């Protein structure tokens, strides 16, 4: 009788172990699959919500799963829960009446505290309510399931615990993404285990519990508190807390082997008990079963007889069946088991070749083969659509893969245009791209067209007769009626971005296959629409950035007639040099190649290389004479000469009026006027800045400056506040006052403010000799400039445009693939010997593209014909100057040699130079010979 009781215990134990193990295995697989979905790599709520429908469909078919969620490395959290009427989840969350699904999102991708929100969805996955949750502190990275899942390379299982949100008892299965940037978790409640234990009590007084290594009760066959309060919060009750001495005693023996124990309690009643370890992943769980021996013996006879009879019948039938079926089924079933495991692990690289004489097994094998192929293609399409950055290749991949999966003869991808029309962006027929595409569709004009009808009705599969087919799809018509599958493509905002249409001969597929095709196409449409919408958005953003860049460059060119077209020609010349480097098969550029992202980086850097010129004062950039500011101050000097001449004339006539010799005084006046005219002519010539200012010329300027004139008006009134402050620095006598003809006055100096200075340890690495003053407009100071028209302050201000370029570009939130834009754009004034500006970089510290742009900037400036202050140079003159710059280590010698050998200068000249600038060039003359 005790043996029969032991057998009963074993059957209860086996059934419980089987169910628990099955539940754990299913949950482990769920965690693994979730960790490989796109949700774990998504960075925005919209992208994560896009994967919600398929997860909820999966949870519907696995009711044991309480919740599925993902914790991200930045603290983000994304949880999905199926709301079941009457459950504890509903009692805690209080969802709207029409809510079927629940999403909890914690987002750190905005300033301020994390954004926590509850999102309730209906059965169609439409959002019915969103709740912003304030002051809710939850960080997945500190939860045990996240730490264990992140540390392990396999699926991990936590010890049973009380869930944070619903306060249910359960355990979590966790698996990390392959790159470790997120951990997926699956919550499984253990309440159903308690229900199962209650049904399996062998006698009315029996004790049946599942507990862990700490004696905490995970599931109980009798009513018992589901959790208790502890110092750390909520915890599971322990066996010792329930006044159940039998369980407390037998729970002490937790060995891996099954042991039958006899426990004697205070009332001297004898119990039969067994403790067994459940072989499940994660922390150990044990099953404890105890029953009073008196109750067991009362039913022992009946159990023994019934068990014996059932065992004999079952053994007989099983033996006969096993002998017949084992040989037929064992090998194919083992192969199918291996194939199922491979599918579970997402391994699709080997074909399935399982066949059996048993019809059901053979059908199962063929079905699994089809399923394996479909899943493989579906995953490959999803990966291709998600990873493809080229829009045309994206459309081609979408159409070719879809027509293959649907076994269609042909297909079209329509895209919605801004005016509401549908444009056929791509068409295929018999696996070949069509040379011509069907015409555009208008919603009002073509309302009978099947694609238009599909957009209006949601989805559509209908027969298109031969006459209609030739009207709509003439290039594809073969005189046969066709079945057209048309599915609208909707983005995340449920807006129609296009339509996918497939054509198949009528009767080529059965009704069931047509339903499967339509289901498959509809399943693909969401992924396809999201990919198309994302690519369109990226293209639109790139067009916006491109337009803004060209707008800035055009504004800089239009700001000054001296630099017109410079910002447009330098990018073209830089790209010509880069393409020549890519085409090189030997020499230093034989391995040179730019990726698509690097070409974009070079393009943006070239267009923005002078964006800092927007801050350069136009009157300095265009300073054509030495005294020019906003106007040419030579006119002030000329008026002083005029005043001196008039004063001399007045003095002459006054002396004549007082009796001085008339002819003598007039002759002296004419002589003085001649001297003044010649001196003014000399000053005007010095103002032009065309000749080198030798020491004798500078001395003569100082002598001329000593001439005086009389000012009779107050020069301190009617001024701006800034000019008044500068005026107050000097001692200005009241009128009438005698002043020099030319002077360097205190008010001519504009001091540099502290914020205009550059610290030696600045964050950009600038190494510049900054003049003490911002501007010095002293007349003698400017007229004695040695060469040209610019003072040291003026030249620094012009050179400062590259400083502003770096500052402006550094503040732009450039994406990672454009991280070198600043380095490329900022190096075109550096020299290979480290004496350039603004960072004094050497050749080794600069990238190839930066050095290429430096040469392009110089060559464009030399050959530019739109600069009124200089004559455009010919090809030979420009190359000769650049050869000297190469010899002085100002430009890169290898890139200059590439310009010569690849004849980049001729390509550029044909596109941008006037015919008279293109002369004969001997490249060997300018090469650097050893």
pLDDT tops 80 at residue 909: yes
Long-range contacts of 546-549 (CB under 8 A, 24+ apart): 549/604, 549/607, 549/608
Q: What is the DSSP letter of 135?
A: S
What mean pLDDT is predicted for residues 355-378? 70
Percent of the chain with pLDDT over 90: 12
What mean pLDDT is predicted for residues 376-394? 65
pLDDT tops 70 at residue 481: no
Q: What is the mean pLDDT of the chain?
A: 80
pLDDT tops 80 at residue 790: yes
The C-alpha atoms of residue 892 and residue 851 are separated, in whole angstroms, by 7
Q: Map tokens 């004094």 to a residue.
A: 840
pLDDT tier at 286, thresholds 50, 70, 90:
confident
pLDDT at position 677 is 92
Q: What is the pLDDT of residues 568-608, one digit of tens each?
A: 788 888 999 999 999 998 889 998 999 888 888 888 888 77
pLDDT tier at 266, thresholds 50, 70, 90:
very low
Q: What global pTM score does this model have?
A: 0.50
Cα–Cα–Cα angle for 134, 140, 142, rounded to 5 degrees: 110
Lowest mean pLDDT among 47-51, 175-179, 240-244, 879-883: 240-244
User: What tokens does 587 get?
Assistant: 């020499």
- Residue 214's nearest CA partner among 158, 159, 262 is 159
Q: Report the chain's C-alpha Rg in angstroms.
A: 44
Return the axis-axis angle of helices 359-387 and 511-559, rounded to nearest 10°: 10
Contact status, residue 272 vs residue 299, Cβ threshold 8 Å: no
pLDDT at position 654 is 93
Of 629 and 621, the one with more pLDDT? 629
What mean pLDDT is predicted for residues 408-412? 78
- Residue 458's nearest CA partner among 489, 483, 482, 484 is 489
User: What tokens does 755 get?
Assistant: 């914020």
Say if strands 259-264 and 169-176 run parallel, antiparallel, or are unpaired: unpaired
Q: What is the pLDDT of residues 445-467, one digit of tens each?
A: 777 777 777 777 765 555 555 55
pLDDT at position 257 is 56
Contact status, residue 397 vs residue 381, Cβ threshold 8 Å: yes
pLDDT tier at 897, thresholds 50, 70, 90:
very high
CA 828 to chain centre: 29
**Highest mean pLDDT out of 67-71, 229-233, 712-716, 761-765:** 67-71
Lowest mean pLDDT among 166-180, 468-482, 877-891: 468-482
User: What tokens does 489 get?
Assistant: 């493509």
- Residue 503's nearest CA partner among 413, 617, 635, 594 is 413
The C-alpha atoms of residue 346 and residue 376 are separated, in whole angstroms, by 8
Q: What is the pLDDT of residues 634-658, one digit of tens each?
A: 898 899 899 999 999 999 999 999 9
Kindly report the backbone phi and psi dihedral angles of residue 664, in degrees, each rounded to the nearest multiple of 5, phi listed first: -65, -45
pLDDT tier at 120, thresholds 50, 70, 90:
very high
Q: What is the pLDDT of residues 488-506, one digit of tens each?
A: 777 777 777 777 777 777 6
DSSP secondary structure of 779-797:
HHHHHT-SSSS--HHHHHH
Lowest mean pLDDT among 279-288, 386-395, 730-739, 871-880: 386-395
Find the DSSP H helices in 509-617: 511-559, 566-583, 596-607
pLDDT tops 80 at residue 344: no
The C-alpha atoms of residue 435 and residue 414 are separated, in whole angstroms, by 16
Cα–Cα–Cα angle for 363, 367, 370, rounded to 5 degrees: 140
Task: Count Cβ neighbours within 10 Å for each residue of 353-367 and write b for 16 or more, e otherwise.
Answer: ebebeeeebeebbee
pLDDT at position 412 is 81
DSSP secondary structure of 485-498:
EEEEEE-TTS-EEE
The C-alpha atoms of residue 685 and residue 10 are separated, in whole angstroms, by 116
Contact status, residue 502 vs residue 406, Cβ threshold 8 Å: yes
pLDDT at position 687 is 86
pLDDT at position 343 is 67
What mean pLDDT is predicted for residues 246-263? 66
- Residue 819's nearest CA partner among 599, 601, 543, 606 is 601
Contact status, residue 150 vs residue 118, Cβ threshold 8 Å: no
* Intra-chain end-to-end CA distance of the chain, in Å: 107
- Residue 395's nearest CA partner among 384, 409, 408 is 384
Say if strands 259-264 and 161-162 run parallel, antiparallel, or are unpaired: unpaired
pLDDT at position 61 is 87
Q: What is the pLDDT of residues 174-229, one digit of tens each?
A: 999 888 899 999 988 877 777 777 877 878 778 888 888 778 888 887 776 665 66
Element spanning 619, H or E: helix 618-621
- Residue 217's nearest CA partner among 290, 288, 143 is 288
pLDDT tops 50 at residue 18: yes
Percent of the chain with pLDDT over 70: 82
Q: Is residue 268 classed as helix, strand or coil in its secondary structure?
A: coil
Handedness of CA 119, 121, 125, 128 (dihedral sign): negative
The C-alpha atoms of residue 788 and residue 562 are separated, in whole angstroms, by 16
pLDDT at position 827 is 84
pLDDT at position 479 is 54
pLDDT at position 930 is 46
Lowest mean pLDDT among 30-39, 176-185, 209-218, 424-433: 424-433
Lowest mean pLDDT among 376-380, 543-547, 669-673, 921-925: 376-380
Contact status, residue 743 vs residue 779, Cβ threshold 8 Å: yes
């Amino acid at each position: 009788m005790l043996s029969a009781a032991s057998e009963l215990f074993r059957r209860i134990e086996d059934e419980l172990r089987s169910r628990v193990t099955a539940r754990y295995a299913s949950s482990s697989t769920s965690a693994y699959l979730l960790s490989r979905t796109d949700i774990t790599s998504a960075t925005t709520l919209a992208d994560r919500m896009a994967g919600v429908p398929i997860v909820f469909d999966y949870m519907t078919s696995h009711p044991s799963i309480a919740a599925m969620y993902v914790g991200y490395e930045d603290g983000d959290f994304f949880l999905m829960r199926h709301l079941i009427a009457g459950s504890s989840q509903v009692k805690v969350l209080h969802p709207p009446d029409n809510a079927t699904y629940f999403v909890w999102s914690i987002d750190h991708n905005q300033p301020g505290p994390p954004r926590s929100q509850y999102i309730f969805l209906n059965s169609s996955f439409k959002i019915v309510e969103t709740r912003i949750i304030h002051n809710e502190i939850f960080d997945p990275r500190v939860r045990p399931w996240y730490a264990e899942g992140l540390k392990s390379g396999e699926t991990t299982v936590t010890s049973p615990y009380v869930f944070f949100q619903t306060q249910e008892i359960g355990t979590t299965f966790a698996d990390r993404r392959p790159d470790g940037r997120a951990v997926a978790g699956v919550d499984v409640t253990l309440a159903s285990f308690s229900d199962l234990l209650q049904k399996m009590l062998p006698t009315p007084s029996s004790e049946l519990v599942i507990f862990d290594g700490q004696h905490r009760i995970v599931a109980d066959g009798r009513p018992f508190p589901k959790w208790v309060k502890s110092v750390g919060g909520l915890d599971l009750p322990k066996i010792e807390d329930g006044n159940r001495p039998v369980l407390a005693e037998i729970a002490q023996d937790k060995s891996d082997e099954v042991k039958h124990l006899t426990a004697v309690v205070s009332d001297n009643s004898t119990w039969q008990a067994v403790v067994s370890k459940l072989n499940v992943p994660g922390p150990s769980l044990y099953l404890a079963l105890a029953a009073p021996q008196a109750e067991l013996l009362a039913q022992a006879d009946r159990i023994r007889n019934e068990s014996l009879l059932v065992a004999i019948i079952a053994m007989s039938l099983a033996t006969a069946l096993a002998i017949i079926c084992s040989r037929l089924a064992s090998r194919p079933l083992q192969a199918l088991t291996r194939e199922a495991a491979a599918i579970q692990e997402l391994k699709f690289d080997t074909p399935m070749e399982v066949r059996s004489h048993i019809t059901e097994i053979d059908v199962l094998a063929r079905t699994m083969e089809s399923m394996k192929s479909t899943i493989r293609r579906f995953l490959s399409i999803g990966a291709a659509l998600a990873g493809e950055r080229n829009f045309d290749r994206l459309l081609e991949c979408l159409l070719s893969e879809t027509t293959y999966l649907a076994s269609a003869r042909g297909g079209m991808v329509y895209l919605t245009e801004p005016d509401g029309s549908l444009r056929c962006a791509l068409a295929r027929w018999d696996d070949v791209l069509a040379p011509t595409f069907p015409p555009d569709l208008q919603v009002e004009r073509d309302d009978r067209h099947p694609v238009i009808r599909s957009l209006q009705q949601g989805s559509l599969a209908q027969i298109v007769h031969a006459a209609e087919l030739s009207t709509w799809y003439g290039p594809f018509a073969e005189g046969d009626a066709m079945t057209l599958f048309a599915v609208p493509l909707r983005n995340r905002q449920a807006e129609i971005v296009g339509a996918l249409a497939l054509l198949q001969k009528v009767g080529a597929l059965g009704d069931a296959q047509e339903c499967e095709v339509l289901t498959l196409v509809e399943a693909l449409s969401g992924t396809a629409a999201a990919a198309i919408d994302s690519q369109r958005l990226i293209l639109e953003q790139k067009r916006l950035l491109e337009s803004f860049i060209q707008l800035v460059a055009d504004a800089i060119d239009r700001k000054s007639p001296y630099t017109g077209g410079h910002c447009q020609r330098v990018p073209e010349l830089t790209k010509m040099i880069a393409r020549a480097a890519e085409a090189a098969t030997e020499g230093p550029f034989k391995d040179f190649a730019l990726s698509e992202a690097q070409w974009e980086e070079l393009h943006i850097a070239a267009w923005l290389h002078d964006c800092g010129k927007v801050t350069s004062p136009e009157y300095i950039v265009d300073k054509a004479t030495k005294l020019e500011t906003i106007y040419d101050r030579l006119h002030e000097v000329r008026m002083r000469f005029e005043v001196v001449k008039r004063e001399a004339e007045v003095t002459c006539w006054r002396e004549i009026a007082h009796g001085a010799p008339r002819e003598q005084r007039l002759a002296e006046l004419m002589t003085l006027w001649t001297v003044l005219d010649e001196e003014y002519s000399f000053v005007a010539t010095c103002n032009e800045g065309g000749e080198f200012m030798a020491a004798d010329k500078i001395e003569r300027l100082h002598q001329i400056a000593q001439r005086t004139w009389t000012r009779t008006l107050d020069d301190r009134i009617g001024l701006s506040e800034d000019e008044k402050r500068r005026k107050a620095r000097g001692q200005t006598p009241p009128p009438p006052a005698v002043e020099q003809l030319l002077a360097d006055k205190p008010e001519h100096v504009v001091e540099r403010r502290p914020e205009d200075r550059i610290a030696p340890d600045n964050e950009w690495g600038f190494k510049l000799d900054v003049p003490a003053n911002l501007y010095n407009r002293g007349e003698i100071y400017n007229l004695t400039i040695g060469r040209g028209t610019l003072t040291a302050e003026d030249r620094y201000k012009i050179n400062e445009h590259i400083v502003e370029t770096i500052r402006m570009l550094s503040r732009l939130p450039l994406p990672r693939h454009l991280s070198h834009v600043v380095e490329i754009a900022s190096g075109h004034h550096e020299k290979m010997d480290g004496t350039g500006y603004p960072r004094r970089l050497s050749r080794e510290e600069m990238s190839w593209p930066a050095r290429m742009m430096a040469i392009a900037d110089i060559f464009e400036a030399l050959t530019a014909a739109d600069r009124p202050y200089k004559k455009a140079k010919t090809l030979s003159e420009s190359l000769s100057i650049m050869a000297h710059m190469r010899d002085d280590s100002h430009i890169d010698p290898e890139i200059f040699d590439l310009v010569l050998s690849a004849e980049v200068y001729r390509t550029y000249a044909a596109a941008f130079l006037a015919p008279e600038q293109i002369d004969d060039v001997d490249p060997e003359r300018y090469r650097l010979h050893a």
